[in-house]
Amino acid sequence: MSKGLTGIIDALETLAAYAGPWRILRGETKLLQTRLAELREREKRLDDVLLVALVGGSGVGKSTLLNALAGDQIAAMSEMRPCTSAPTVYHPPGMQFALNHLTGVNHVARSALEHIALIDTPDSDTIVKEHRRIVEQALQECDLILLCADSEKYLDEATWSLLRPLQGQRAMVCVETRVMRADDAIKRDWLKRLEENGFSIENYFRVNALRALDRKLSGGSRPPDAEEFDFAGLEQFLRHELDRERVARIKSSNAAGLLARTVNRLYEQIQAETPRLAALQSAINEADETLSRATLRHFTAGPLAESHLWVQALGREVGLRAKGGIGTLYKILELARSLPYRLPVWLRLDLYHGNDIARATALFSKTADGNDDALPESLLSHYEGLHSELRMRFIRAGFDMPANSTDDDYQQELNRRVDGVFGGAVHERLAARARLIAAWPAAVALDSLPVAFIGYTGFLIVRAYWEGNLLPSTSFLHSGAVLVILIAVEVALLSVCVRLSAWGARRRGLTDLKKALVMPGLAFRREKQLLSEVEGIVDVIHQLRAQINNP
């Protein structure tokens, strides 16, 4: 057997071992295993004996033909009634071969045909079930079929029904028996009908086996005459044309035919499921798109889109890095402003359930990392509804799905992506902006005006003291008021810078979040993986069929 066919058999053995959730392919594995066992057996017998089965209806002369080929009456004959109830195998002496399916065999080991064994079978149109079973077993074992029929039985449906399952899997030779005149009308009609039904015929012989047998039994002193028609040609075909090279070619062709039939059947079964698989893919894409829209809407149009959360997050980062007097005041104000959010964390109070603002705040502060409950019930319910509907679609399409209709792949993946954005790009961007706002040059610039005012006020006080002038008490009040106003303006200016920078960070952060949420693989991971595996199997079957049809 060629290396290509061996590779196809190996691929089919992988498919035959499939035990996954797709019931369609699992339903084919038993037949695949049976066919592969036969293919492996035939692969071992490529250089072995050629088993030739004589098959035909009652009274067509199969046993007579076997006797004529043997030159002796080794099989019972009758023109009036069926007389073969057990198969007779005519083979050379010492030939070793196994007939795994054929039972009750009568062996006659005195054939002069090298590496060829002839099997005389019961009638194919018999009403005896056991006889028909023997014919089926002989057809299962043989490599070449000598299809015997006369002018009355060549279109017999009982015989054709046995041969149709073997189309392309067995070499066939037509033998028109009991020929009485040189008229090839039966030949033309028979070959036409066989071709219309998809049968391929190796050769065709018109014989009168009874006359050939009479000649041989009379001593064989006279040569074959014209009244035997093509009998000599049939003997020539069996003795000389069926050499070892042609025998190996016939067996390889039979194996290739069985392999092609196996692959084509599998292809037809899978092809019928293609619309369902395409519908499943569409359903997954639709569910994925629907869930992505809902997720994007929740995260980019909900609490995370609130500007004050971004201002609060950046303000906290600036407060951690603030320097100088103005920075210290801003840090105190920021601490007081964020106290309602910090206090639950310090006290270890769980306020994340049902509180979208608290969840969003926790994302910025990184306190929700690893929290499996960081998603709202509305979003999880939406996911579970889509997942349940998708699961039912898979079951109707022929998949065995687990009893549990929901899992946490969506929740875990969504938490990972959201936490990745806010713990990664967003956090780094906020930290970079905070370092810029709280840098020493900015701190010195903010503190310079109040320090200069305090210095100038001190200078006025000292100068008045040396000049002996007494400053009015209102001047101290005015100076304090001006200083407070200056500090308030400086703190307000710092707050404005934080707010403007937070707005820019919000825009870029939401863009990063959108990119993370629209990436494939957000949910329905099991269904996508399952469909991908099945599509891989379908691709393998398509490739095998292409190899079979275009060797």
For 445-502, the DSSP string reads HHHHHHHHHHHHHHHHHHHHHHHTPPPPHHHHHHHHHHHHHHHHHHHHHHHHHHHHHH
pLDDT at 370: 43
SS3 state of residue 22? strand
How is 248-307 classified by DSSP, letter by letter?
A: HHHHHHHHHHHHHHHHHHHHHHHHHHHHHHHHHHHHHHHHHHHHHHHHHHHHHSSGGG-H
371 pLDDT exceeds 50?
no
pLDDT at 362: 67
Spatial distance between the Cα atoms of 221 and 229, rounded to a whole number of angstroms: 18
Q: pLDDT: is 392 or 43 the higher one?
A: 392
This prediction's pTM: 0.71
Flag whether 209 is in a domain.
yes
- Judgement on whether residues 343 and 417 belong to the same structural domain of the protein: yes
Joined together, the tokens standing for residue 286 give: 């639709």
pLDDT at 220: 58
pLDDT at 367: 47
- Judgement on whether residues 355 and 442 belong to the same structural domain of the protein: yes
Flag whether 496 is in a domain.
yes
For the ranges 129-143, 175-189, 304-318, 520-534, the lowest mean pLDDT is seen at: 304-318
Q: How confident is the model at residue 146 (pLDDT cuts 50, 70, 90)?
A: very high
The residue out of 194, 209, 242 marking a domain boundary is: 242
Q: pLDDT: is 42 or 515 the higher one?
A: 515
Q: How confident is the model at residue 368 (pLDDT cuts 50, 70, 90)?
A: very low
Which whole number is the average pLDDT over 16-26? 93
Q: pLDDT: is 280 or 339 the higher one?
A: 280
- Judgement on whether residues 204 and 313 belong to the same structural domain of the protein: no
How is 54-97 classified by DSSP, letter by letter?
A: EEE-TTS-HHHHHHHHHTS--S---SSS----S-EEE--TT---
- Matching residue, tokens 């090279």: 245
- Judgement on whether residues 208 and 309 belong to the same structural domain of the protein: no
- Residue numbers of the domain that contains 509: 302-372+408-529
pLDDT in tens, 28-86: 999 999 888 888 877 777 667 899 999 999 989 999 999 999 988 887 765 544 556 78
Q: Distance between alpha carbon 396 and the CA centroid of its chain, in Å?
A: 17
Flag whether 509 is in a domain.
yes
How is 186-235 classified by DSSP, letter by letter?
A: HHHHHHHHHHHTT--EEEEEEB-HHHHHHHHHTTS-SPP-GGGBTHHHHH
The segment with the largest mean pLDDT, out of 31-45, 178-192, 448-462, is 178-192
Task: Count CB atoms within 10 A of the CB of residue 410.
Answer: 23
For the ranges 94-103, 249-258, 413-422, 440-449, the lowest mean pLDDT is seen at: 94-103
pLDDT at 358: 61
pLDDT at 162: 93
pLDDT in tens, 539-550: 999 999 998 877
Count of the separate structural domains present in the chain:
2
Flag whether 128 is in a domain.
yes
- Judgement on whether residues 229 and 309 belong to the same structural domain of the protein: no
pLDDT at 345: 56
What strand order describes the sheet that includes 106-108? 106-108, 88-90, 116-120, 50-56, 144-149, 171-176, 201-206
372 pLDDT exceeds 80?
no
The residue out of 223, 242, 261 marking a domain boundary is: 242
Q: pLDDT: is 30 or 344 the higher one?
A: 30
Flag whether 437 is in a domain.
yes
- Judgement on whether residues 231 and 157 belong to the same structural domain of the protein: yes
- Judgement on whether residues 235 and 318 belong to the same structural domain of the protein: no
Spatial distance between the Cα atoms of 8 and 545, rounded to a whole number of angstroms: 9
Flag whether 284 is in a domain.
no
Spatial distance between the Cα atoms of 370 and 517, rounded to a whole number of angstroms: 18
Which whole number is the average pLDDT over 185-197? 93
pLDDT at 346: 60
- Judgement on whether residues 151 and 223 belong to the same structural domain of the protein: yes
- Judgement on whether residues 331 and 420 belong to the same structural domain of the protein: yes
pLDDT at 453: 87
- Judgement on whether residues 238 and 306 belong to the same structural domain of the protein: no
- Judgement on whether residues 487 and 351 belong to the same structural domain of the protein: yes
- Written as one letter, the residue type at 173 is V
Which whole number is the average pLDDT over 242-258? 87
- Judgement on whether residues 202 and 347 belong to the same structural domain of the protein: no
Mean pLDDT of the chain: 85
Pair type for strands 116-120 and 88-90: antiparallel
pLDDT in tens, 153-164: 999 999 999 999
pLDDT at 46: 66
Domain containing 186 — which CATH number? 3.40.50.300
Flag whether 212 is in a domain.
yes
pLDDT in tens, 255-306: 888 888 899 999 999 999 999 999 999 999 999 889 988 888 887 777 777 7
Flag whether 82 is in a domain.
yes
